[in-house]
A and B are shown apart, each in its own frame.
Chain A
């Protein structure tokens, strides 16, 4: 069943158009990647969904047209967003950051907070260990884990994740992408993952869209895209030749 649908979505910053008619869909419980180079429109696509950029066109969540809704109202519809730069509340403790996640969930899941917190701590033990520490003191990878933990504690049905690998060592990236996959399966989430590193993303997702200049230029299952020569040349070759992706 389709959870999210975007039809002909356009968005711009200060008069410069970043999305030129995006069409995509995410089904319930599915993990989908948005691939593409810098400036292809990955971040803007996520922001168009969570209501943090003004858009034209149609963004439909679970049959409801949410185009133009303010971000805090979209969030109440169980949309979690792990933003670019991780959105850490640096002066708050790790625990307080997680509490904010819990507070974001609707009343229907309130009874399950303890179990969920325990599950998050099991997945990211470092967050339990550093519970009382200021979040700003965490490393980049730890802040990324915190951002994901905070977002999923809101019990979203759709989780938007923006470039979790940015600035992280390859091993940490692998660990984070793997935990996203675990969460997607165990928490029945749909995940929309924006990622420059196509090879790593395609290793974990079900499907992917390839973006270029604010529109979709290729789409398919992870296996299909891995075999697609055009995609290989443009995005998967990057790592081998050492060219910046």
Chain B
């Protein structure tokens, strides 16, 4: 029983990575109708920025904040430069652009920082904590807490601030939003910036566990896409819940399903994507009417 509990908790831990990436993907999708395949590598770049600053002697948390700010700016810039010209295009065009972004950014990351994996020291120290009989490292617990706070802040931002309301309006009905003097273009850029920031939180805070390398977010991106599919691309809450569920599911499958070791863990997101598309294409939290044609 303790073993199962242990597996669930550590699954939740990685679930927070998928949840934040999924939320980022979902924010971008709601605004621009693009599934951003580059969301993972954008988070990777943020982790590299933090790693660079820390190795130059900067305290972790200052580097963390600076990496977030940089990510916000770069995210908004990417929207302005690469997405704006194709705004409102077909899903195929959007797909091509974000895949091109993925490949391009991966090359840029490798060009600047090289291919060798780097290590980022955990800001939470090397201790461990016992949670109801299961043992978690301070890093696992601390990273999960930081992401949880980020997700709650993002939720509160959209729910309670007028800027959040404007962004939701612009995403949902841009034509009508413009008539209410909302600068939709600016809202979309903000949305990309915010998505990049949410992804960056996961990238930087989990870097000590994942290791900093150009491919550090690859499998997380896959799981995040599955999470967004599971929760529904139109639902922010759904994306987060989907991420946590998949974290636990992937972990339990690799432990208890014979034949699926940690190498085959990625079977789980594929199975989830396949099943959801088959049984409930709008996702658990999506509405049938909001599925884009």
Contact = CB atoms under 8 A, between A and B. Distances in A.
Q: Which of A52, A73, A75 has the most CB of B within 10 A?
A: A75
A36 interface: no
A185 interface: no
Contact of B176 (A70, A89, A91, A103): A89
B31 to A, nearest CB: 14
B80 to A, nearest CB: 16
Interface in B162-188: 162, 165-166, 168-169, 172-173, 175-184
Contacts of A104: 180-182
A87 B173 contact: yes
A103 B173 contact: no
A75 B172 CA distance: 19
Main secondary structure of the interface of B (DSSP, over half): helix
Contacts of A99: 162, 165
Contact of A81 (B166, B169, B173, B179): B179
Interface in A148-170: 150-151, 154
A89 B179 contact: no
A73 B185 CA distance: 12
Interface size class of B (residues with CB under 8 A): 10 to 19
Contacts of A151: 179
A7 interface: no
A19 to B, nearest CB: 19
A101 B178 contact: no
B183 A72 contact: yes
B178 A71 contact: yes
A150 B182 CA distance: 13
Nearest to B163: A103
Contacts of A154: 180-181
Contacts of B168: 89, 91-92, 96
Contacts, number: 68
A50 interface: yes
Nearest to A147: B176
Contact of B179 (A50, A90, A92, A103): A50
Q: Which of B165, B166, B172, B180 has the most CB of A within 10 A?
A: B180
A75 B173 contact: no
A83 B180 contact: no
Q: Which of B165, B166, B290 has the most CB of A within 10 A?
A: B165
A88 interface: yes
Interface string B67-81: 000000000000000
B181 A89 contact: no
B176 A75 contact: no
Contacts of A126: none
Given A72-B182, A104-B181, A87 B165 contact: no
Contacts of A230: none
Q: Which of B162, B177, B181 has the most CB of A within 10 A?
A: B181
Contacts of B173: 87-90
Contacts of B177: 72, 89, 100
A124 to B, nearest CB: 18
Nearest to A70: B178
A55 to B, nearest CB: 16
A72 B184 contact: yes
A72 B186 CA distance: 11
A110 interface: no
Q: Which of B168, B175, B176, B183 has the most CB of A within 10 A?
A: B176
A158 to B, nearest CB: 12
Contacts of B290: 91
A104 B166 CA distance: 10
A87 B175 CA distance: 8
B169 A92 contact: yes
The 5 A-B pairs at the shortest CB distance, nearest first, are namely A87-B176, A75-B181, A71-B178, A104-B180, A81-B179
Interface of A: 50, 52, 70-73, 75-76, 80-81, 83, 87-92, 96, 99-101, 103-104, 150-151, 154
12 contacts: A52-B175, A71-B179, A72-B181, A75-B179, A87-B175, A87-B176, A92-B169, A100-B165, A100-B166, A103-B182, A104-B181, A151-B179
